[in-house]
Chains A and B, each alone.
Chain A
């Protein structure tokens, strides 16, 4: 196996290392592939499908697909951007996302994707599910209304915190984030300092009593669109 693998993304030659995913190699090369469930610190999951790219004409999630010599990857095409936009809109209508009063606003990756894709209002009808808030923990809360089922907390708790405090129950539209206790999050060993409590891309898992510390207007995506750190050539090396 050679030390470098050469392939193209939208016609531009990219060099990566064996074992890297398309997402990792693209990021190192300063190419942004939109994503939501993906998180550098965690094992790839491939659930949101926002990072769908065409690899030699076949759709694959960039976060899970290994790079291959000579592969032709399409990323920033009108068709793929359209599908991604549809997926982002689906995530909005599936839950109850009220950006104006969500304390994650401005730091929310779902909202930031909507900004980047120019989504003002979803074309799909809102499903308005009836979901709960779990405030049983003294320092952290789960607002299921905003959960996008990305499994970042599940993966972080299992692989980084060594606790396995989160999981999924139910299936299909009834699939739901669950915790390892019948007494809610407060019945688990999760702590505010856990990685699982800090990697939520949306306002579903929040630490209590720290909201609005940074004023709206000065938050992460208020100033620069999501992905601009990668496109600016400041992509950090993949792990």
Chain B
């Protein structure tokens, strides 16, 4: 290595104008150059961008894809999402581990491989899956895992692992992925053909206020799950004072079991970028940022290419579509493995080069967002709806779907069903019809909206997918009768513990305590009073947490307690002797026994 750490860091920091708000990009580049961000590199970055070392360290230590420790040249990240576990992840993980001769979290002695687990990578419809650096490998078996390691030993280029290309743009040379789109049904809003530029030309022929009015007429609401009216959000932002405004597209699709944005980004990037540009016109912004989750890095080259094409066609850049004075361009901001960054204020923190800590509200992003300036953050699917509304008309859109929830919704369906994939359905469809559509009539439980949503049983299958009943960002995980819903809930809690930013007490501590008690019940050591304990703790977390992650993190327990109470009741036993059930004598004295080198006397009793 001829280039020293100092030289490399200087070169990288210069490429980003020594701008500390570009810390995500700087750290990402240093990480990929050296396999880690050492203490010396952190010192050098801090010097170059004039910040404190601890600020750099706070970023490096926050994101799962960054590390101070040097990782192997190839990092294999096995997705340990609940769906992957159901589909045989354990065998795949064991095969990787045995073939590499290391455990998870370890690096081979030759520095070539690191093996890790990672939460949902957006491939639940083709699980088990893993990331090999940026390359996605899907439908894994233990044999394929072994073959992957052997091939990488022969040729260290992960791109060579892709033998059979996926469908659609997955086969595009800039994507070159084995990922399959698995589009189940195509609706008129997202998956219909889109004449690039048409919606935008209509938009710039109107006034920005008229474009916002169209969003209101269409009654478009956010597709990420919260369902905030898009027109209202834009109006607030447009009215907020600021010398500059921003449009941010939230493509940090991290909710386990969600993968619809993956398919949009692969197949409909023009529709998305057109929606972002229209949003820019409506609120008076000249800059858009697409925050792309690190797991989807394999799509970046295609997206950059589409952006370049749009610049060439005059759909981005100066005087967009010939509209004098309307300048707009889009840059891609890569994430680095943090679910919480899907929360809009955490996402803004991340774009600013900080830890992905959510911000205090108020002020809301529309008033003070990115760099303290008015910012609109919209979901990928929402922005696609925007472009389609301009193309086809607000009235056309408003008559789709159900009365309170116009339009269509993309559902990402995975788990125990015959045809997992992405389905564009009209709002108003019942859950039972969804299950029938994917061949999951024998479902015993369905997780609607991902771990932060709710686990429902057959008595709720007649309910309706819409904002007023079963609201969802689109994740639908199906569980057959043989699955243990409490184990699923336990796995979701583990996910939230790992992904909490740690800012506020209830989310940081409460979820650890919630999982401790749930695990004890699953182990058959719970008592009836534990159910009230879980309910009380869960409500505390839900009510007092600072952001959406914490406020929904207890849902796996709260919704299974509500909908699957008999499963809990069958496991807990009344405390007959009145002894403190939390106290385990053997565990309590085990450390002392180890130090003393002998068993304690109590064992005789």
Footprint of B on A, CB under 8 Å? 44-50, 52, 59, 61, 64-66, 82-83, 86-87, 90-91, 93-94, 123-125, 127, 149, 164-175, 178-182
Q: How far is the CB of A204 from chain B (nearest CB, A)?
A: 15
For B543, the closest partner residue in chain A by CB is A59
Q: Within the assembled complex, what's the spacing in Å between the Cα atoms of A149 and B499? A: 17
Report which of A47, A86, A169, A178 forms a contact with B546, defined as CB distance below 8 A.
Answer: A47
The answer to whether A173 and B512 have CB atoms under 8 Å apart is yes
B61 within 8 A of partner (CB) = yes
Q: List 27 A-B contacts (CB under 8 A).
A: A47-B504, A47-B505, A65-B362, A86-B540, A87-B505, A90-B506, A94-B509, A125-B513, A125-B516, A125-B582, A127-B509, A149-B508, A165-B54, A166-B54, A167-B54, A167-B55, A167-B58, A168-B355, A171-B61, A171-B356, A171-B500, A172-B508, A173-B497, A173-B500, A173-B508, A175-B502, A182-B43
The answer to whether A86 and B536 have CB atoms under 8 Å apart is yes
For window 474-517 of B, CB contacts with A under 8 Å fall at 497-506, 508-510, 512-513, 516
What size tier do the contact residues of chain B reach? 35 or more
Q: How far is the CB of A8 from chain B (nearest CB, A)?
A: 20
The answer to whether A49 and B504 have CB atoms under 8 Å apart is yes
For B500, the closest partner residue in chain A by CB is A172
* Beyond A87-B540, A93-B509, A180-B54, 20 extra complex contacts between A and B, CB < 8 Å: A47-B504, A52-B544, A66-B362, A83-B540, A87-B544, A90-B513, A149-B508, A164-B52, A164-B54, A165-B54, A169-B54, A169-B61, A170-B502, A171-B356, A172-B508, A175-B503, A178-B54, A180-B53, A181-B53, A182-B53
Q: How far is the CB of A172 from chain B (nearest CB, A)?
A: 4
Q: Within the assembled complex, what's the spacing in Å between the Cα atoms of A179 and B52? A: 10
Report which of A83, A125, A174, A179 forms a contact with B502, defined as CB distance below 8 A.
Answer: A174
Report which of B39, B340, B513 forms a contact with A124, defined as CB distance below 8 A.
Answer: B513
Q: Chain B contacts of A170 at CB under 8 A?
A: 61-62, 502
Footprint of A on B, CB under 8 Å? 39, 43, 52-55, 57-58, 61-62, 338, 340, 355-356, 360, 362, 497-506, 508-510, 512-513, 516, 533, 536-537, 539-540, 543-546, 582
Q: Chain B contacts of A167 at CB under 8 A?
A: 52, 54-55, 57-58
For A175, the closest partner residue in chain B by CB is B502
Q: How far is the CB of B355 from chain A (nearest CB, A)?
A: 7
Q: Chain A contacts of B509 at CB under 8 A?
A: 90-91, 93-94, 127, 173
Report which of A46, A50, A182 forms a contact with B39, defined as CB distance below 8 A.
Answer: A182
The answer to whether B544 and A49 have CB atoms under 8 Å apart is yes
Report which of B360, B512, B543 forms a contact with A44, defined as CB distance below 8 A.
Answer: B360
Q: Within the assembled complex, what's the spacing in Å between the Cα atoms of A46 and B540? A: 16
Q: Within the assembled complex, what's the spacing in Å between the Cα atoms of A133 and B156? A: 43
Q: How far is the CB of A205 from chain B (nearest CB, A)?
A: 15
The answer to whether B543 and A83 have CB atoms under 8 Å apart is yes
Assuming the A-B contacts A124-B513, A169-B57, are A52 and B505 also in contact, with contact meaning beta carbons closer than 8 angstroms in the complex? no
Q: Within the assembled complex, what's the spacing in Å between the Cα atoms of A59 and B539? A: 12
The answer to whether B544 and A169 have CB atoms under 8 Å apart is no
The answer to whether A47 and B58 have CB atoms under 8 Å apart is no
The answer to whether A164 and B55 have CB atoms under 8 Å apart is yes
The answer to whether A178 and B499 have CB atoms under 8 Å apart is no
Q: Within the assembled complex, what's the spacing in Å between the Cα atoms of A49 and B499? A: 19
The answer to whether B58 and A46 have CB atoms under 8 Å apart is no
Q: Chain B contacts of A181 at CB under 8 A?
A: 53-54
The answer to whether A49 and B54 have CB atoms under 8 Å apart is no
Report which of A87, A149, A174, A178 forms a contact with B58, defined as CB distance below 8 A.
Answer: A178
Q: Within the assembled complex, what's the spacing in Å between the Cα atoms of A43 and B131? A: 42
Q: Chain B contacts of A83 at CB under 8 A?
A: 539-540, 543-544
The answer to whether A64 and B536 have CB atoms under 8 Å apart is no
Q: How far is the CB of A109 from chain B (nearest CB, A)?
A: 14
Report which of A66, A93, A168, A174 forms a contact with B513, defined as CB distance below 8 A.
Answer: A93
Assuming the A-B contacts A49-B504, A90-B505, A180-B53, are A172 and B58 also in contact, with contact meaning beta carbons closer than 8 angstroms in the complex? no
Report which of B52, B540, B546 forms a contact with A61, defined as CB distance below 8 A.
Answer: B546
The answer to whether B516 and A52 have CB atoms under 8 Å apart is no
For B55, the closest partner residue in chain A by CB is A167
Assuming the A-B contacts A52-B544, A91-B509, are A168 and B58 also in contact, with contact meaning beta carbons closer than 8 angstroms in the complex? yes
Q: Chain B contacts of A182 at CB under 8 A?
A: 39, 43, 53
Q: Within the assembled complex, what's the spacing in Å between the Cα atoms of A91 and B512? A: 12
For B358, the closest partner residue in chain A by CB is A46
For B509, the closest partner residue in chain A by CB is A90
The answer to whether B500 and A46 have CB atoms under 8 Å apart is no
For B533, the closest partner residue in chain A by CB is A123
Q: Chain A contacts of B543 at CB under 8 A?
A: 52, 59, 83
Q: Chain B contacts of A179 at CB under 8 A?
A: 54
The answer to whether B544 and A171 have CB atoms under 8 Å apart is no
Q: Within the assembled complex, what's the spacing in Å between the Cα atoms of A164 and B53? A: 10
For A88, the closest partner residue in chain B by CB is B505
Report which of B39, B43, B505, B544 forms a contact with A91, defined as CB distance below 8 A.
Answer: B505
Q: Chain A contacts of B62 at CB under 8 A?
A: 169-171
Q: Within the assembled complex, what's the spacing in Å between the Cα atoms of A109 and B516? A: 28
Q: Chain B contacts of A82 at CB under 8 A?
A: 540
Q: How far is the CB of B494 from chain A (nearest CB, A)?
A: 11
Q: Chain A contacts of B533 at CB under 8 A?
A: 123
For A65, the closest partner residue in chain B by CB is B362
For B62, the closest partner residue in chain A by CB is A171
Q: Within the assembled complex, what's the spacing in Å between the Cα atoms of A90 and B504? A: 11
Q: Within the assembled complex, what's the spacing in Å between the Cα atoms of A125 and B515? A: 12
Q: Within the assembled complex, what's the spacing in Å between the Cα atoms of A66 and B432? A: 45
Q: How far is the CB of A117 from chain B (nearest CB, A)?
A: 14
Q: How far is the CB of B368 from chain A (nearest CB, A)?
A: 13
Q: How far is the CB of A131 from chain B (nearest CB, A)?
A: 14
Q: Chain A contacts of B338 at CB under 8 A?
A: 171
For A48, the closest partner residue in chain B by CB is B505
Most buried by A among B53, B340, B533, B582: B53
For A44, the closest partner residue in chain B by CB is B360
The answer to whether B58 and A49 have CB atoms under 8 Å apart is no
Q: Chain B contacts of A91 at CB under 8 A?
A: 505, 509
Q: Within the assembled complex, what's the spacing in Å between the Cα atoms of A83 and B512? A: 17
Q: Within the assembled complex, what's the spacing in Å between the Cα atoms of A52 and B61? A: 29
Assuming the A-B contacts A83-B540, A93-B513, are A47 and B503 also in contact, with contact meaning beta carbons closer than 8 angstroms in the complex? yes
For A85, the closest partner residue in chain B by CB is B540
The answer to whether A87 and B506 have CB atoms under 8 Å apart is yes
Q: Chain B contacts of A127 at CB under 8 A?
A: 509, 512
For B542, the closest partner residue in chain A by CB is A59
Q: Within the assembled complex, what's the spacing in Å between the Cα atoms of A124 and B502? A: 19
Q: Chain A contacts of B500 at CB under 8 A?
A: 171-173
Q: How far is the CB of A16 from chain B (nearest CB, A)?
A: 16
The answer to whether B58 and A169 have CB atoms under 8 Å apart is yes
The answer to whether A180 and B52 have CB atoms under 8 Å apart is yes
For A150, the closest partner residue in chain B by CB is B505
Closest 3 CB pairs of A and B: A175-B502, A167-B54, A90-B509
Q: Within the assembled complex, what's the spacing in Å between the Cα atoms of A153 and B516? A: 31
Q: Within the assembled complex, what's the spacing in Å between the Cα atoms of A94 and B53? A: 27
Assuming the A-B contacts A52-B543, A171-B62, are A149 and B502 also in contact, with contact meaning beta carbons closer than 8 angstroms in the complex? yes
Q: Within the assembled complex, what's the spacing in Å between the Cα atoms of A48 and B545? A: 9
The answer to whether B362 and A172 have CB atoms under 8 Å apart is no
Q: Chain A contacts of B503 at CB under 8 A?
A: 47, 149, 175
Q: Chain A contacts of B43 at CB under 8 A?
A: 182
